[in-house]
Amino acid sequence: MARPIGLHRPAASATKLRLLEAGLTLLLERGYTDTGIQDILDATSVPKGSFYHHFKNKQDFALQVVDRYMDGVHAGLDAALTDASRPPLDRVRAFFEGVRQSYAAEGYLGCLLGQLGQELAGVSPVFRAKIEGCLRAVAARIGSCLAEAARVGDLPADTDPHVLGQVLVNCWEGAALRSRLRRSPAPLSAVLDFFFRVAAPA
């Protein structure tokens, strides 16, 4: 989804934030298996003891990186979906367009949730549950905004906005993978154009 632009949880120490930010970048670039604790220490010049002061192990670290990532996702959702000056559908599109811009800034590395989900869902129940919970939370927030669009008549009367929200997130995650493979925004733009043309025909 989007890079962190704010925290919803109590402020972490500067050292912990450095580790999390470095981990976020490395996990996006290399994945979980190819990112070692020593890689994180080398990227931050943080002593090993400091790492283990903040994190139990590599799994705990990666799960907290996901939490940090989700802080940014929810901040982006807050900024876009609560903008009452815009129609609900415009707010939903604005969120995904903001995510697309963040992908561009990173060189189209895609979504951390998708990256870790594809790598670890088949081997780690902990990560499978974590990633699914995160995606479900995003879909629920999108669905709530789509429900508002349905109430004001901007979606067909028989629309199930919460199912539609899940479909949009699912499509976006697939497009994020293709975007990473191609290092191009084209799959992301195509999904948005198709979704809003089909879901909310003029």
DSSP annotation of 182 reads H
| pLDDT for 11 | 59
Contact between 187 and 121 under an 8 Å Cβ cutoff? The reply is: no
| Residues 6+ positions from 2 with CB-CB distance below 8 Å | 72, 73, 75, 76, 98, 99, 102
pLDDT in tens, 117-137: 999 999 999 999 999 999 999
In angstroms, how far is the first alpha carbon of the chain from the final one? 28
Whose tokens are 């974590």? That residue is: 130
Separation CA 161–CA 108 (nearest Å)? 29
Could you give the CA distance from residue 49 to residue 55 in angstroms, rounded to a whole number? 10
175's tokens: 């497009």
Candidates 109, 138, 114; CA nearest to 127 is: 114
Mean pLDDT of 150-175: 95
Tokens matching residue 169: 């997130």
- Output the pLDDT for position 61: 98
pLDDT of residue 5: 42
> Is the pLDDT at 147 greater than 80, yes or no?
yes
pLDDT value at 159 more than 60: yes
**Which structure tokens are listed for 65?**
């990186």
**pLDDT at position 2, please?**
59
Q: Which of 120, 122, 150 is nearest to 59 (CA)?
A: 120
For 32-72, write each residue's pLDDT tens digit. 999 999 999 999 999 999 999 999 999 999 999 999 999 99
Q: What's the token pair of residue 113?
A: 């949730």
Q: Show the DSSP H helices in 106-155 as ranges.
A: 112-120, 125-151
For residue 10, pLDDT over 60 is answered with no
Q: What is the overall mean pLDDT for the chain?
A: 93
